[in-house]
């Protein structure tokens, strides 16, 4: 957007250019056309001048329109983010302190992912074969990749937890990793760690004990936590939503320690 002085200066130059262009066309016309009708050369020069001014006006309107469009876009973006944060918390509050079914947990997971605007942090202790079971995990992963492509400042971090070396090296585990890293335009921080390593290190086992062993969870914009309840075969049987600064901080503290100890699978540039 031009300043007031820049606008005045450009309008003066535009007027001068219009006058010059009109005069030049008028003179050329009078020399090329034998015995032109009285006043016709001046009329043509005036038309050229008006056309020049109209073009200048169109340029100014386009500049103003572009500037106002940028302001409106930024305003809508800001409003959308603020609205999304309110919706995120409202979804959390609507399901807080409830025992959710596996199906409801998956639905809430998608909703919270959709309205997350800044960062998503998650662990995954799900049995690898279950990842490909209902399709919920793959569908939500596609949504996460879409957000990464659409929002360059969106941060997504995950730690995959394996129940032993054999599981870590299994075909299912490798396919899960590949699904996370197959899009160069949707890069995330992805790390892995063995469950026994968590138990062995007090840096990890102590904060996990403080969380009552709730090891499979996702944190949305540091405001809401979704915890998965797994059965003995590590299949999802339900879940719960936690909202509250103290509780969220405890999960984030464990996640931060976990991702520091885990081994990188791929790291966002």
Domain shared by 100 and 21, yes or no: no
Write out 99-153 in H/E/C secondary structure: CECHHHHHHHHHHHHHHCCCEEEEEECCCHHHHCCCCHHHHHHHHHHHHHHHCCC
Q: What is the pLDDT of residue 169?
A: 92
8 to each of 2, 148, 221, how far by Cα in Å?
10, 44, 47
Task: Tell the burial category of 198 from Cβ atoms under 10 Å away from its Cβ (0-12, 13-18, 19+).
Answer: buried
The domain total for the chain is 2
Whether the pLDDT of residue 75 is over 90: the answer is no
Domain shared by 107 and 219, yes or no: yes
Confidence of residue 45 (pLDDT cuts 50, 70, 90): low
Whether the pLDDT of residue 31 is over 90: the answer is no
Domain shared by 169 and 60, yes or no: no
Picking from 44, 78, 112, the residue at the C-terminal end of a domain is 78
Domain shared by 181 and 152, yes or no: yes
Q: What DSSP state is assigned to residue 96? A: B
CATH of the domain at 116: 3.30.870.10
Domain shared by 9 and 135, yes or no: no
Q: Tens digit of pLDDT for each residue in 181-231?
A: 888 888 889 999 999 999 999 999 999 999 999 999 999 999 999 999 999
Average pLDDT score over residue span 123-132: 87
Instruction: Give the pTM.
Output: 0.68
Domain shared by 248 and 119, yes or no: yes
Domain shared by 69 and 107, yes or no: no
Domain that holds residue 12: 4-78
Q: How far apart are CA 167 and CA 9, in angstroms?
A: 72
Domain shared by 63 and 118, yes or no: no
Confidence of residue 97 (pLDDT cuts 50, 70, 90): confident
Domain shared by 136 and 57, yes or no: no
| 45-49, 53-57, 196-200, 225-229: least confidently modelled range | 45-49
């Amino acid at each position: 957007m031009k300043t007031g002085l820049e606008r005045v200066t450009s309008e003066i130059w535009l007027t001068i250019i219009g006058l010059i262009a009109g005069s030049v066309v008028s003179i050329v016309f009078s020399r090329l056309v034998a015995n032109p009708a009285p006043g016709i050369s001046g009329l043509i020069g005036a038309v050229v001048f008006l056309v020049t001014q109209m073009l200048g006006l169109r340029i100014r309107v386009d500049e103003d329109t572009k500037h106002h469009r940028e302001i409106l876009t930024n305003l809508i973006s800001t409003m959308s983010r603020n609205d999304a944060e309110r919706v995120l918390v409202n979804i959390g509050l609507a399901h807080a302190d409830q025992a959710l079914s596996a199906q409801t947990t998956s639905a809430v997971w998608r909703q919270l992912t959709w309205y997350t605007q800044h960062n998503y942090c998650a662990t995954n202790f799900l049995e690898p074969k279950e990842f490909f079971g209902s399709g919920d995990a793959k569908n939500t992963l596609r949504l996460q990749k879409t957000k990464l492509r659409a929002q360059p400042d969106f941060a997504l971090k995950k730690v995959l937890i394996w129940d032993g070396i054999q599981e870590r090296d299994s075909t299912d585990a490798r396919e899960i990793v590949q699904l996370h890293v197959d899009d160069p335009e949707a890069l995330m921080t992805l790390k892995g760690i063995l469950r026994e390593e968590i138990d062995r290190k007090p840096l990890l086992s102590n904060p996990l004990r403080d969380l009552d062993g709730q090891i499979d969870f996702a944190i949305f914009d540091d405001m809401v936590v979704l915890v998965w309840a797994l059965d003995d075969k590590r299949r999802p049987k339900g879940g719960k939503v936690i909202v509250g600064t103290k509780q969220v901080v405890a999960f984030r503290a464990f996640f931060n320690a976990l991702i520091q100890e885990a081994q990188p699978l791929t790291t966002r540039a």
